[in-house]
Structure 1
């Protein structure tokens, strides 16, 4: 899990640098930078979503996954955990939860996360995750400067998610076909599009309640593909 640990360290380092800049950024610049991040998030999501080819599976996964997430109240539960963490660290940042969620989605939903974790889990050099670490470290500077300390705490779910993928790949990596990876990347892109819409304040979307769609997508891919 060297690649994931380096990734965590890069985000903490980059986010810490961003927090230093945060105090020096005039308030009037926050909004335009926030919008720039939102637009980039939309672009990233669209580019990822286009990798998917099995649209019916994606639609069913999104519908069923969203219903399951809503029934489980995932977003409500995560927000409570986030608020509890915010109080524990004594942060008064109003964007704590937004920063944590946004950073986690951007850092974890891409193809580099999935493929890189699979490669390292199957015993290959973590070259892709090390490259991702550099990119995430740079991105975390901008994210933390605008969204605050919540970005740093995104490393907790990142460690669980990315590390978990690496461990699963060590056990089952040889039986994961490329088409499944593409479909996971595609539905992850749709979720990032939803995140971008929320960041731009066009519409509040409960992105966390949609996360079970990824698990359902994997299940349906193995059943029908």
Structure 2
């Protein structure tokens, strides 16, 4: 079953989020300290991902074009409106951060080598070990995030299923379209560019900055086109 690993990953996020909802009676100071710890860990994860780049100019161009596209599309504002709408419908007057939980969790769970490589393994080789391992990790992260950011974290299962499921399904034919050499380079650079976004998430969690991370998401699409042109030019 091609989507087995993707479904397990989604179930892991849902279970972790549900457990986190039952553990929401944690003192505010404990939540604050926990979020600081998560912010530091997320920043470190992002830095480790980002330094893997071999084409830093490609990363920079992708971020620049992605920022222009994201600001033009107003992605951050649209996410916030979606979160506010869901919050008004389901929060019943309680103070929560649905949009923040949704955006933060989505980026953490979607961006990274494990999501791409795991989905490719599921589709090409029928090997789901990477995504099952990722599901275990994501479930614990979802648990902790939900205790501090609320049930919006659970909504991140939607982009995770679409992203990983889409890659898994496309990968059954991807070898006919894209050379393996290019895919290897693309995964490295996409992961590195995603690492920069993860660093921004970590800094936002620590309240050091307020980066509109959602407006940088298109950079993950531009990385493929720019990298292709870059390699074609032999730079």
TM-score scaled to structure 2, two decimals?
Answer: 0.91
Counterpart CA distance in 2 for 1:46 and 1:119 is: 25
The 3 A distance-change label for structure 1 pair 173 and 15 is farther
Aligned residues: 224
Of the three residues 171, 174, 196, the one matched with 2:173 is: 171
The SS at the match of 2:23 is helix
Deviation at 1:32, TM superposition (A): 0.8
The 3 A distance-change label for structure 1 pair 194 and 130 is same
Residue in 2 aligned with 1:78?
79
Counterpart CA distance in 1 for 2:175 and 2:101 is: 32
Deviation at 1:101, TM superposition (A): 1.1
Residue in 2 aligned with 1:28?
29
Residue in 2 aligned with 1:204?
210
Of the three residues 121, 124, 127, the one matched with 2:123 is: 121
Of the three residues 9, 12, 25, the one matched with 1:10 is: 12
Deviation at 1:123, TM superposition (A): 3.6
Q: Contact between 2:110 and 2:159, CA under 8 Å: does it hold in 1? A: no
Q: Superposed, which structure 2 residues align to 1:52-91 within 5 Å? A: 52-90=53-91
TM-score scaled to structure 1, two decimals?
Answer: 0.95
Deviation at 1:173, TM superposition (A): 4.6
The gaps in structure 1 that reach 5 residues or longer are none
CA RMSD of aligned residues (A): 1.4
The gaps in structure 2 that reach 5 residues or longer are none
Residue in 1 aligned with 2:132?
130
User: Per-residue CA shift, 1:109-144, capped at 9, x if unaligned?
Assistant: 111001001111214211100110111112211111
Counterpart CA distance in 2 for 1:196 and 1:90 is: 26
Q: Contact between 2:46 and 2:195, CA under 8 Å: does it hold in 1? A: yes
The SS at the match of 1:22 is coil
